[in-house]
Structure 1
Amino acid sequence: MNKDTIMSDFVPGIIAGTINAIVCIVSAMALAALLFTGPLASFLSQGIGILLLGTIIFAVFSALTATYPLTLIAPQDIPIAILALMAATVAAGVGSELDAEHAYQFVFVAIGLSSILVGLFFYFLGRFKLGKLVRYIPFPVVGGFLAGTGWLIVKFSFMMMTDLNPGLADVGILFESTFIFEWFPGLIFAVTLLVVTRYFSHYLLTPGILFGSILLFYIIMFGLGFSFTDMEQNGYLLGPFPGGGFFPGLPFKYVPLFRWDLFFIHLPAIATMMVLNAVSVLFNYSGLELIVKRDFDLDKELRLTGYSNILAGIVGTPAGYMTLSETSMSYNLGARSRLPSIVVAVISMVTLVFGADVLSIFPKVILGGLLLNLGLEFMVEWLFDTWKRLHKTDYAVIVLILIVIGSVGFLEGIVLGLLMSIILFVINYSKVEVIKYELSGKTFSSNVERSSHLKEILHDHGNEIYILPLQGFIFFGTANRLLMQVQSRQEDQNLGELKYLVFDFRNVTGLDSSAINSFNKLKILAENCRFHILFCGLNDEMEAQLYVEGIVAEKSLIVRIFQDLDHGLEWCEQHILHRVLPKDDGLERKNKKGSFQHRFSQIADFFEIKNCPSGTIMIKQGEDPGGITFIESGKITVELETDTGKKIRLKTLGPGTVVGEVSLYLGSSASASVITDTDCQVFFLSKESFKKMNLEAPDKTVELHTFIVELLSERLSGSNATIQALMR
């Protein structure tokens, strides 16, 4: 590693770590003040120490174990806010049940126990691989979360610079002469840094602007006659901080006298904290993925966060998880190593032991400007940069989440964003055609190969079969459209009478109650109009739904179930043939006209007559068929065995059909097996006899060649018709 590379990482790492340490220390003081208030206010210094100790443990753990170098885990406001409610309840009992000292001891131990419970919860979420659930969160919700995070950082930056917490209705206060000079320089610094870093890139750029701004601040302030003490007293610097060290000791000595009864009362609140922490940590990592443009193993991150919280809980510090703002700060400043986490741990340790006086020299407006810059980065990226990249409805979700987070609350914004995304998904998904294709018996048939005469009959009656391959999840948004489509076909007199309605569920993932209701209406329509409904390719769950609702019955003549579309169409075709052909052996008589003996009597001597019982393997997949076989009587199946061992029916052939013709002409091995379904009589022409016939009776074999060409052309024509129907 060359010197430039080291410096390009070292300098940003030191600066990022120092800034993050200051933010963490200031945050620790603010969160401690939230937690230790009222009767517990006298223990504020111990509370600051508890938060700083947690910061050190999380920073060291991050530096040693984080899968991404810049990841920084730190105590967070969500668990602190819930713990503050518990502390306030306990503090309210001071004087009646507990004195202030025992109340502090209870809160100290309770903080540690809650962190251990949170850590175990995180661990088990990761252990059972539930982190991937966040992958199902819509992209606009994550974008709204990051925009809302940016707004909260902007708000916090103004709080830091002005010591005010104004709502949207109180924004005017910021423009009063008393406060405008406290935040306006920070705004200039943040906007300058934002614009410059968007158009230029160098590892010394941000540090240079930072140090230059600090130097300019002191030059201006000293020039205006302010001394260091004046700046500190007027709130222009971070200090003054409480003097001395903050180390609070360890909570183990307070465990024997711990009030478990009080702790159990607050378990529901702690359970809420667990869930909110889990949602927050997964959202933070989803946001970080977009910022640093890499994927994280969320289950592993949950387990690591769980370990860190268990370790922190043992020494009595609050729960924490990856802080998106500080981690993003390090990334934006150009750091790429674990150095920022190490610096945070070192500075926090020095503060814990010796106090925070050294941090008093940092201008509050510059630190606030850095935070303001980070917040503006988030908001510019998700409100400006995404305007042209996202669909306007998705963009509206981002804006809506931001508004709700800013005006109501963080969790409410996320929940509303999820609800809006779900509604938009339902609306958009309902526009997806549930009917994949519209086919008829003219354009699509079963894999049963029949004689030319029978094919003509089926083609003439093909419009009686209406085939609807379905797709996706059939729910209230699409089910009614399916019903209307069938009603439209039933009323179309140009296509003739509908007798067979065939549904293919192979690509359907599920049905809701509205879909079941629509199929029930279809059953009533079928009973009134006297057509059959065939459900093909149902999975076990969908079949059970239809049986429970009474749509399918064991002895139903209207509604039938088949394992796949192929067998369903075969039943329809057989039903048509038995209905159309004469009952007095008409089917057999028609077949005899197209039999082998009748058609190729002149070359019959070259063939071998074979009688094959049911179950005979006439041709085995992968082997040489040895010749061509003409089916005189009976029925056979062409079956393909896949690499997984699954057997698929390709064709079922009857009298007047042929197998093995492709292998005979191309000299290839069989691509599928041929098995007899019934006792069959066949005429077999071996390769040797085929050659002999071509030599001895070439004029007589022309008819055979013509028949094979017609057969293959007919199959090709049928395939083309099917393709055209599918492409409509």
Structure 2
Amino acid sequence: MAEMAEKISKHLHGDLDKVVPTTVVMVAMTSIILGLVFFVMGLFRVTSIANYMPYPVIAGFLSGIGAQLMKNGVHMASSKALTAAFFTLEVQVLLLPAVAFASLARLGQYFKFPVAFSFPCLLALSLVGFRLISFLYGVSIEELGRGGWVFSWDPVVVAQTPMWFPWVEIDFNQVHWHTLTHECMEFMVSLIILGALKYSVATTSLSTLFGRDISPDNEMRVIGLANVASGLLGCCGGGHYLSAMGIMKQFEAHEKVPALVCAFLVVCLWMAGIRLLQFVPKFIFGGLLLSVGLHFLEAYLVTPFHFLKPIEKATVVLITSSFLAIGMLESVAMGIMISMVELIWRIHAVGCVHHETTGALSRSAVDRTPEQTAYLDSEGSAIFVLRLQGYLFFGTSVNILERMETRVHSLDFPKLKFVIIDFGLVPSFDATALLNFRKSSTLADMYMFDIYFCGLKPDIELALRQNHYSQRVHLLRSDVDIALEICENELVPDKLFFTPETPRPGTSLTEWKRMSQLELWERFMAASTEHDGTSNYQKLLPLAAYLETIVVPNGSQLVPERLRDDTYFICFGYMNFVMDSEFSNAHNIPGVRFSEACDDDGVGRGYSDGFPNENDDGLDEPIRASNPRKMSFVVPEESQWTPFTTAKSRLLKIGPGAVIIPNVAGMDPEYKYFATSDCVVLRLRAAAMETLEDQAPHTAVAVLKLINVRLATRFRHSSKRVSQMSSLLYK
């Protein structure tokens, strides 16, 4: 505003009859415009973005205010700036009472005297003591003014200050509108930006100043309305007087008290004029400013040094010192830039890789043969897994390339064949990360390995598909478990897959369904690895008479009630052993609503693990269908978070030769078996098992041995899966 007033004065050649009314209108218009901007910021809750400002910046801002208050206090008491004249004995004598006043005020707070009693007593004693000494020495107001002890103003000016005298002499017909618009509008944009930043920082600092939650948006709305009202009355607007609030905090008063006190004093001065201020010595004003400034420095410069890091300490000191040299907004902007650089450096040091592992240490949930397991133990290191975390940007995404290049040139592992990059913990990424993904595609072509991006959210997948990649890059929405299964299947030699995933030539699902229980049981024992011995084979062969054939359609679930007592033997197809996560089945999570439906017999449909139907042979048989489980979101109007969504977690994938044993009593009902393809299974009912124990005890013992072997295998697999999942979560 000072520059705008200077421009008006120069353009009107110093003609006060035109300069004064034009300047008054300029101040009023500026107050109204700024008030509207502040009100809109508070109305749309834009001010809250300042809550993300780093604490060192807030502390430096408040300590800078303290330094500015101390500077103003020195200037108030001595009327001299920090020049050579300031260090004369005459000026130091004027400054000494102000220093003593501030020292006594701080000493009372140090000894924890009641501020509401000690501070008014100090003010009264200082004023009465000064007037008493002046009376005893016979010094008049004029002599005190010439000596610098009180304000020395022109008597004519003092006489014109009360009431409406300055306003009735102004002729608003002399307002130069062309000068107002031509000279001032160029400053208006800068003024709006600077004012918005200044008061955003100030309102955000209120919570730190008073130690409780104060809504900056509400304060901005109040400031906006106050500025509009001030502008309509032809006055200059403003905002929170943090210095006065600091004084009231020392009195342990409410934060609204400064506004009431200031309003009362302004009304008194308006009625009586500024003559009243000449009865108060300047060292009281200066000492008051020194005391408040020292309090700000102690609270926001000295105290934070006990817990801030070195770079944060330097930021606070830099903002405080630059506050006096270059200004408030410039110092705050400098502090924000330093904090941003430090934040980027620290995030880069942490990196975007949550965990890295190999296929030898982390496996998919597929139930594999001992030969396949042994092969993966020795050659699984050819699979390299990177689990990413957080937002990927220019400061972290380069870590992905660095890890991949390090793995490619490593001599401690076999040749790299597959890289799995898990995006399950990644919300989004920037253009630099996308560029690094392109570089990883080039790296894959150069060293001949495949890259699988898995756990992709729809928006991330869309962004990745819009860019060109080589044929060695694959995008999967499914999780890392499915990606591991794909890589393991590609890595394991064909000769170790003695059980084909697709029907044998000339054998379709229809033919499997037409087989007798004996034929299916023979196929099962040929695929199973636990009973290769001839004696064991002969003992288990009579079991076929007690079995019944069950067809489980793709996507269906085995009835939980049957799993409690019956035993199932998989002859054809694949199933997933899954469980619901805590996020997908907890109905008490705010903002999440579930809708689910299933058949009357408990068979749910719609499950998929990301693979196509492995055994689709074009059957025309009708398959019962039900609505799949759906999740919908009910986000509150001012929600600050997005609910998590987690799909069913696959614990194990089983196929031909596998046994589904009866559930143990008290087992969690959330554990379920879903068919990922059309399956043909043999079921041994509990009643049939009792009959078998009576009629063929040797066969019953062989069946129990088979079940015990499967239990032991399941326990070993579960133990290994727990250790693998723990390593992914906590390392």
Inter-partner Cα distance in structure 2 for 1:494 and 1:340 = 71
Aligned to 1:368: 286
Residues 570-593 of structure 1, C-alpha deviation per residue, up to 9 Å, x if partnerless? 221222246554799699799934
Counterpart contact for 1:617–1:673, Cα < 8 Å: yes
Residues 194 and 286 of structure 1, relative CA distance in 2, 3 Å threshold = farther
User: After the TM superposition, which residues 147-226 of structure 1 pair with which residues of structure 2 at under 5 Å, given as runs?
Assistant: 147-166=63-82, 170=83, 172-202=84-114, 203-226=116-139
How far did residue 701 of structure 1 move?
4.3
How far did residue 257 of structure 1 move?
6.4
Inter-partner Cα distance in structure 2 for 1:176 and 1:602 = 116
Three-state SS of the structure 1 residue aligned to 2:355 is: coil
How far did residue 499 of structure 1 move?
0.9
Partner amino acid, structure 1, of 2:557: I
How far did residue 508 of structure 1 move?
2.5
Residues 586 and 549 of structure 1, relative CA distance in 2, 3 Å threshold = closer
Residues 179-229 of structure 1, C-alpha deviation per residue, up to 9 Å, x if partnerless? 111112101221232233133131312222222232333344445543344
User: After the TM superposition, which residues 417-428 of structure 1 pair with which residues of structure 2 at under 5 Å, given as runs?
Assistant: 417-428=335-346
User: Would you say 1:395 and 2:313 are equivalent positions?
Assistant: yes
Residues 460-501 of structure 1, C-alpha deviation per residue, up to 9 Å, x if partnerless? 432221111012233444344432322232233332122111
Partner amino acid, structure 1, of 2:244: E
Partner amino acid, structure 1, of 2:217: D
Aligned to 2:724: 722
Percent identical residues: 23
How far did residue 632 of structure 1 move?
1.6
Aligned to 1:702: 704
Inter-partner Cα distance in structure 1 for 2:145 and 2:201 = 38
Aligned to 1:122: 38
Partner amino acid, structure 2, of 1:594: S
Inter-partner Cα distance in structure 2 for 1:251 and 1:242 = 16
Residues 591 and 485 of structure 1, relative CA distance in 2, 3 Å threshold = farther
Inter-partner Cα distance in structure 2 for 1:117 and 1:304 = 14
Three-state SS of the structure 1 residue aligned to 2:253 is: coil
Partner amino acid, structure 1, of 2:483: G
Three-state SS of the structure 2 residue aligned to 1:611 is: strand
How far did residue 417 of structure 1 move?
1.0
Counterpart contact for 2:203–2:220, Cα < 8 Å: no
User: Would you say 1:533 and 2:532 are equivalent positions?
Assistant: no
Counterpart contact for 1:506–1:538, Cα < 8 Å: yes
Counterpart contact for 1:134–1:282, Cα < 8 Å: yes
Counterpart contact for 1:383–1:399, Cα < 8 Å: yes
Alignment counterpart, residue 304 of structure 2, candidates 382, 386, 391: 386
Counterpart contact for 1:436–1:470, Cα < 8 Å: yes
How far did residue 607 of structure 1 move?
3.3
Alignment counterpart, residue 575 of structure 1, candidates 490, 509, 521: 490
Three-state SS of the structure 2 residue aligned to 1:666 is: coil
Which segment is superposed worse, 244-253 or 366-375?
A: 244-253
Residues 707 and 606 of structure 1, relative CA distance in 2, 3 Å threshold = farther
How far did residue 400 of structure 1 move?
0.9
Three-state SS of the structure 1 residue aligned to 2:234 is: coil
User: Would you say 1:637 and 2:553 are equivalent positions?
Assistant: no
Alignment counterpart, residue 552 of structure 2, candidates 612, 616, 634: 612
Residues 672 and 705 of structure 1, relative CA distance in 2, 3 Å threshold = closer
Counterpart contact for 2:206–2:214, Cα < 8 Å: no
How far did residue 137 of structure 1 move?
1.0
How far did residue 121 of structure 1 move?
0.5
**TM-score normalised per structure 2:** 0.79
Residues 300 and 458 of structure 1, relative CA distance in 2, 3 Å threshold = same
How far did residue 456 of structure 1 move?
4.1
Residues 710 and 312 of structure 1, relative CA distance in 2, 3 Å threshold = same
Inter-partner Cα distance in structure 2 for 1:694 and 1:356 = 111
How far did residue 724 of structure 1 move?
6.5
How far did residue 454 of structure 1 move?
4.2
User: After the TM superposition, which residues 470-619 of structure 1 pair with which residues of structure 2 at under 5 Å, given as runs?
Assistant: 470-540=388-458, 542-550=460-468, 552=469, 556-577=471-492, 579=494, 581=496, 592-594=526-528, 600-601=540-541, 603-619=543-559
Counterpart contact for 2:11–2:179, Cα < 8 Å: no
Counterpart contact for 2:39–2:222, Cα < 8 Å: yes
Partner amino acid, structure 2, of 1:670: P
Residues 148 and 194 of structure 1, relative CA distance in 2, 3 Å threshold = same
Partner amino acid, structure 1, of 2:657: G
Three-state SS of the structure 2 residue aligned to 1:143 is: helix
Alignment counterpart, residue 237 of structure 1, candidates 150, 161, 165: 150
Counterpart contact for 1:443–1:725, Cα < 8 Å: no
Residues 460 and 603 of structure 1, relative CA distance in 2, 3 Å threshold = farther
Inter-partner Cα distance in structure 2 for 1:194 and 1:693 = 94
Three-state SS of the structure 1 residue aligned to 2:306 is: coil
Unaligned ranges ≥5, structure 1: 1-81
User: After the TM superposition, which residues 270-281 of structure 1 pair with which residues of structure 2 at under 5 Å, given as runs?
Assistant: 270-281=188-199
Inter-partner Cα distance in structure 2 for 1:272 and 1:344 = 29
Inter-partner Cα distance in structure 2 for 1:298 and 1:204 = 32
Counterpart contact for 1:446–1:566, Cα < 8 Å: yes
Inter-partner Cα distance in structure 2 for 1:133 and 1:260 = 38
Partner amino acid, structure 2, of 1:609: T
Inter-partner Cα distance in structure 2 for 1:384 and 1:322 = 24
User: After the TM superposition, which residues 418-457 of structure 1 pair with which residues of structure 2 at under 5 Å, given as runs?
Assistant: 418-457=336-375
Aligned to 1:656: 657
Counterpart contact for 1:440–1:464, Cα < 8 Å: yes
Counterpart contact for 2:525–2:531, Cα < 8 Å: no
Counterpart contact for 1:619–1:670, Cα < 8 Å: no
Inter-partner Cα distance in structure 1 for 2:112 and 2:562 = 69
How far did residue 525 of structure 1 move?
2.9
**TM-score normalised per structure 1:** 0.79
Counterpart contact for 1:612–1:681, Cα < 8 Å: yes
Partner amino acid, structure 2, of 1:122: F
User: Would you say 1:665 and 2:599 are equivalent positions?
Assistant: no
Inter-partner Cα distance in structure 1 for 2:387 and 2:501 = 34
Counterpart contact for 1:288–1:328, Cα < 8 Å: no
Aligned residues: 634
Counterpart contact for 1:596–1:632, Cα < 8 Å: no
Inter-partner Cα distance in structure 1 for 2:694 and 2:303 = 79
Which segment is superposed worse, 332-341 or 308-317?
A: 332-341
Which segment is superposed worse, 378-387 or 577-586?
A: 577-586
Three-state SS of the structure 1 residue aligned to 2:681 is: strand
Residues 319 and 688 of structure 1, relative CA distance in 2, 3 Å threshold = farther
Counterpart contact for 2:21–2:174, Cα < 8 Å: no
Three-state SS of the structure 1 residue aligned to 2:664 is: helix
Inter-partner Cα distance in structure 2 for 1:466 and 1:612 = 36
How far did residue 410 of structure 1 move?
2.1
How far did residue 252 of structure 1 move?
12
Report the structure, 1 or 2, having the larger helix content: 1
Counterpart contact for 2:499–2:656, Cα < 8 Å: no
User: After the TM superposition, which residues 9-408 of structure 1 pair with which residues of structure 2 at under 5 Å, given as runs?
Assistant: 82=1, 84-94=2-12, 99-166=15-82, 170=83, 172-202=84-114, 203-238=116-151, 240=153, 242-244=158-160, 245-247=162-164, 248-249=166-167, 254=172, 259=177, 262-263=180-181, 265-336=183-254, 338-408=256-326
Inter-partner Cα distance in structure 1 for 2:500 and 2:306 = 72
Unaligned ranges ≥5, structure 2: 505-522, 586-593, 595-629, 632-646
Aligned to 2:616: none
Inter-partner Cα distance in structure 1 for 2:309 and 2:436 = 33
Residues 580 and 207 of structure 1, relative CA distance in 2, 3 Å threshold = farther
Inter-partner Cα distance in structure 2 for 1:175 and 1:256 = 47
Aligned to 2:607: none
Residues 414-437 of structure 1, C-alpha deviation per residue, up to 9 Å, x if partnerless? 111111111111221111032211
Which segment is superposed worse, 472-481 or 565-574?
A: 472-481
Residues 37-84 of structure 1, C-alpha deviation per residue, up to 9 Å, x if partnerless? xxxxxxxxxxxxxxxxxxxxxxxxxxxxxxxxxxxxxxxxxxxxx2x2
Residues 255 and 542 of structure 1, relative CA distance in 2, 3 Å threshold = farther
Three-state SS of the structure 2 residue aligned to 1:442 is: coil
Partner amino acid, structure 2, of 1:648: K
User: Would you say 1:627 and 2:540 are equivalent positions?
Assistant: no
